[in-house]
Amino acid sequence: MANSNKLSKSAEQNAVLTLGDVTIRFGGLTAVNGVSMSVKRGSIVGLIGPNGAGKTTAFNVITGFYKPSSGYVEFTPPNAPPMKITGLDPHKICKAGIARTFQNIRLFGNGTVLENVMTGAYVRQKSKWWMNILPVFPGAIREEREIRRQAAVLLERLDLIRFMNAHAASLPYGAQRRLEIARALATKPSFLLLDEPAAGMNPRESAELLGFIRTLRDEFDLSILLIEHDMKVVMGVCERIWVLDEGRLIADGDSAAIRGNPRVIEAYLGKEASHA
């Protein structure tokens, strides 16, 4: 524990996200218990832990779906002072620059692939909703056209352009996961949360994903926090890993440090050592 505190202090200078002693209780259950951590700008950080450790709950706190019982979440947009985002509505947090994907894919199933991505871009759209009712606001029309174009560029980039007009729900599984990422990127985030991006993928696909996450970070100038069960993905891509167990942070460090940490092995890798 002492070790982790020291590390997070040193990371604070250039942190994009800081959790300060965050605790969440549901009735009698404490899902997240006094977690302090920070994510360095431009880094790819993994959040791991056994089932029920509180990883997704932590994501839900960061994105505003749960209000922490105590503690704070601080986010620093690029070229701006840090802001407390604790208790903000989720859509405001997204507007501030945090986007996420979901563990159990949540696309807009009745919309097309293109529409899904365009929906993501709405948060940055300047023209008002009524400006498109009559074609008398050339600015609004131009902006919609631009959103459509940029959505197509994103789809091209995520290798989804051939599905452009297909219904989102009809896509193969891996493509749905990529579409969720494309939709999140359309909100122009500076910080991206990925909830089990490799879930349900075969080894070849998750190996591809590994490289892809790095490219994403560089290309879109992102910091990335990801939850993942696939140890190969976590160890391969994450520059730093945080380990949660029963709501508490039990370890952090680079992949080598995590691999050798006895508490982690006990809590988590003990069961999954054969995979790693």
Partner 1 sequence: MFMQHFINALGLGSLYGLIAIGYTMVYGILRLINFAHGDIFMLGAYFVFFATIQYKLPWALGVFIAVMGAILSGLLVDLIAYKPLRDAPRISALISAIGVSFFIENASMVAFTARPQAVIQPKQLVEAFSVGDIRLVPLNIIVPAISFVLVGMLLWMIYRTKRGLAMRSISHDIETTRLMGVSVNRIIALTFAIGSGLAAVAGIMWALRYPKVEPLMGFTPGFKAFIAAVFGGVGSVPGAMLGGLALGFIEIMSVAFFPTLSGYKDAFAFVLLVIILLVKPTGLMGEKSEDKI
Partner 2 sequence: MMSASSGNRIRNNILTLAAAALLAVSLWLAPKYLDGYKIRIINLIAINAILGLSLNLIYGMAGMFSLGHAGFMAIGAYVSALLILTPEQKSMMWILDPIAPWLLNLHAPFYVSLLLAGIAAAFFGWLISLPILRLGGDYLGIATLGFSEILRILIANLTPITNGPIGLKGIPAHTNLWVSYGCLLVLLIAVIRLMGSNFGNVMRAVRDDEIAAETMGINTFRTKALAFTIGCFGAGVGGALMGNIITTIDAKMFTITQTYNILMIVVIGGLGSITGSILGSVIITTMLEWLRFVENPITIGAFKMDGKPGMRMVIFSILLVAVIIFRREGIMGMREFSWDWILSRPAAIRNRFASGETPKGGDLNG
Positions in the binding site for partner 1 (CB under 8 A)? 26, 56, 60, 65, 102
On the CB side of 125, CA atoms within 13 Å amount to 26
220 binds partner 2 (CB under 8 A): no
- State how far the Cα of 188 lies from the Cα of 121, in Å rounded to an integer: 8
Interaction partner, residue 56 (partner 1, partner 2, none; CB < 5-8 Å by kind): partner 1
Q: Smallest distance from the beta carbon of 24 to partner 1, in angstroms?
A: 12
Per-residue interface string for the shown chain with partner 2, residues 84-123, x marking contact by CB under 8 A: -----xxx--xx---xx-x---xxxxxx---xx-xxxxxx
- State how far the Cα of 61 lies from the Cα of 167, in Å rounded to an integer: 31
Nearest alpha carbon to residue 15 among 55, 51, 45: 45
- Whichever of 144 and 246 has its CB closer to partner 2, that residue is 144
Query: Out of 4, 30, 69, 125, which residue is the one contacting partner 2 (CB under 8 A)?
Result: 125
Q: Which residues, 6 or more positions from 99, have their beta carbon under 8 angstroms from its beta carbon?
A: 120, 184, 185, 187, 189, 191, 192, 193
Per-residue interface string for the shown chain with partner 2, residues 24-63, x marking contact by CB under 8 A: ---------------------------------------x
Q: How far is CA 93 from CA 32, 58, 169, 187, 190, in A?
A: 20, 14, 27, 11, 11
Q: Smallest distance from the beta carbon of 135 to partner 1, in angstroms?
A: 35
Interaction partner, residue 24 (partner 2, partner 1, none; CB < 5-8 Å by kind): none
Query: Out of 29, 133, 136, 256, which residue is the one contacting partner 2 (CB under 8 A)?
Result: 133
- Whichever of 140 and 184 has its CB closer to partner 1, that residue is 184
Tell me if 71 sits within 8 A of 20, measured CB to CB: yes
The number of angstroms, rounded, from the C-alpha of 53 to the middle of its chain's C-alpha atoms is 17
Nearest alpha carbon to residue 196 among 236, 162, 226, 158: 226
Question: Please, which residues bridge with residue 19 across strands?
Answer: 37, 73
Q: Smallest distance from the beta carbon of 210 to partner 2, in angstroms?
A: 25
Q: Which residues sit at the interface with partner 2, rule CB under 8 A?
A: 63, 65, 89-91, 94-95, 99-100, 102, 106-111, 115-116, 118-125, 129, 132-135, 144, 147, 183-184, 186-187
